[in-house]
Amino acid sequence: MKQKETLSNILSEDIGDDHVASSAETPLRPDAFEKDDELKIELITKHFTEIMHILGLDLEDDSLKGTPERVAKMYVQEVFSGLNPDNKPVARLFENKYNYDQMLVEKDITFYSHCEHHFVPIYGKVHVAYFSSGKVIGLSKINRIVQYFAKRPQVQERLTVQIGKELQSILKTDDVAIVMDATHMCVSSRGVGDTNSRTGTAFFSGKFKDQHIKNEFLNYINSQSKEGQS
């Protein structure tokens, strides 16, 4: 029941108060890709070393001396790798040979991202649905698209819109829906310290603006989630 209430609240027009972004695009400087990954790792290692020094940590300690480089590699090669357009997944489309004209849903896609306000994790589930316009996409590519946009400093509202618009572009259809349900460590591990709250966002376009179709999608998510919890 708790899961159902959380997803139903997504329909609210108010999607947050402190998370308003200026654009659906990730804010990047024009020179964002002038440095290659190797140089970025070198520079981040240097600056993170200084941060640890300022905090009073002993980098001669066996446990800590490799931390700056580990953090630098993690930032560039893993958790923020979605900043680099070279890492964008190539999505191959297939003919809808079965003439399947109903809603296609991929649910419970796990994602990990980082809040751009405090650089701490955001994690949760994404549910995706679309109606084919004549082409379909491999299911694993939907997961890869979610991960690509998640692997950058993010605001949840922006992440939701980016996934939705990317799928619209790839699938050549407006009939796309995204529901995202996430935990923000900037809320649970610091600040107010609320470990129970979650944040819901949604992207509904095309046929999914029809209340009946929207409800069909949300009811499917809710019913399957309840079965999984029983």
115 carries an active-site annotation:
yes
- Type of residue found at 24: A
Which has the higher per-residue pLDDT, 181 or 187? 181
pLDDT single digits (tens) 125-162? 999 999 999 999 988 999 999 999 999 999 999 999 99
Q: Which residues pair with 129 in a beta bridge?
A: 105, 177
Homologous superfamily assigned to 37-83? GTP cyclohydrolase I, N-terminal domain (1.10.286.10)
Residues 6+ apart with CB under 8 A from 132: 96, 100, 101, 104, 171, 173
Task: Give CA separation, 25 vs 21, 51, 119, 162, in Å.
Answer: 9, 29, 18, 7
Please pick, among 116, 168, 216, 224, the residue that the annotation labels catalytic.
Answer: 116
Nearest CA to 182 among 166, 158, 206?
158
Please pick, among 147, 154, 156, 162, the residue that the annotation labels catalytic.
Answer: 156
Q: Which CATH architecture group holds 2-21+90-229?
A: 2-Layer Sandwich (3.30)
Q: What residue spans define the domains of the chain? A: 2-21+90-229, 37-83
| Torsion, Cα of 157, 154, 167, 217 (10° steps) | -40
pLDDT single digits (tens) 20-58? 555 789 999 999 999 999 999 999 999 999 999 999 999
186 carries an active-site annotation:
yes
